[in-house]
């Protein structure tokens, strides 16, 4: 697992955590811009809310969980590969869902056939849901091995103080 040293704490940040946190910051910037655009017209509210809640908040939590839970439990991450697949599926699902839903809504308002757009919303929503369950599985399996207190990084760090 590739790691980067954090400057002030000496803690290690792995590639997976870094990807999620950087993506979260990008989604924060985009959702902030969309938040301003909501004042122009309400068509951006779905994209804004999903990019803010799933993109900014969830991606930040994914990244922090992948960074901190292995350190806290003393267990290695069950599968970095599964985490990377989850990262890409979560991005594809979120972007696809955020872009396809406004089209479905537009077709519905114009009373046009929106079945293709609805199918895309369902497809991308399902991809997003699968990525969340991959995260749950990966973290659950990572926490499954119980380590002794001496092997736990946080326990030994605070025990000696």
Residue 137 pLDDT > 60: yes
CA–CA gap between residue 151 and residue 54 (Å, rounded) = 34
Give 83's pLDDT tier (boundaries 50, 70, 90). Answer: very high
Q: Where are the domains of the chain?
A: 13-154
- Phi/psi for 41 (5° steps) reads -165, 150
Q: Give the 3-state secondary structure of residue 93.
A: helix
pLDDT tens across 45-62, in order? 888 899 999 999 999 999
Q: Give the 3-state secondary structure of residue 4.
A: strand
Residue 125 pLDDT > 70: yes
Place of tokens 């930040």: 60
Residue range 38-51: mean pLDDT, rounded: 82
Contact 87, 16 (CB under 8 A): yes
């Amino acid at each position: 697992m590739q790691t980067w040293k954090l400057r002030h704490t000496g803690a290690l940040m792995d590639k997976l955590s870094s990807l999620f946190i950087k993506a979260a910051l990008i989604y924060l910037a985009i959702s902030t811009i969309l938040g301003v655009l909501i004042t122009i017209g309400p068509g951006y509210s779905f994209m804004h809310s999903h990019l803010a809640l799933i993109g900014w908040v969830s991606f930040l939590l994914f990244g922090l969980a992948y960074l901190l839970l292995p350190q806290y439990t003393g267990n290695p991450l069950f599968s970095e590969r599964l985490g990377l697949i989850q990262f890409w599926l979560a991005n594809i699902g979120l972007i696809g869902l955020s872009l396809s839903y406004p089209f479905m809504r537009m077709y519905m308002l114009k009373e046009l056939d929106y079945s293709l757009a609805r199918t895309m919303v369902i497809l991308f929503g399902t991809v997003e849901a699968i990525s969340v369950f991959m995260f749950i599985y990966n973290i659950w399996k990572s926490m499954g091995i119980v380590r002794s207190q001496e092997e736990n990084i946080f326990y030994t760090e605070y025990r000696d103080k």
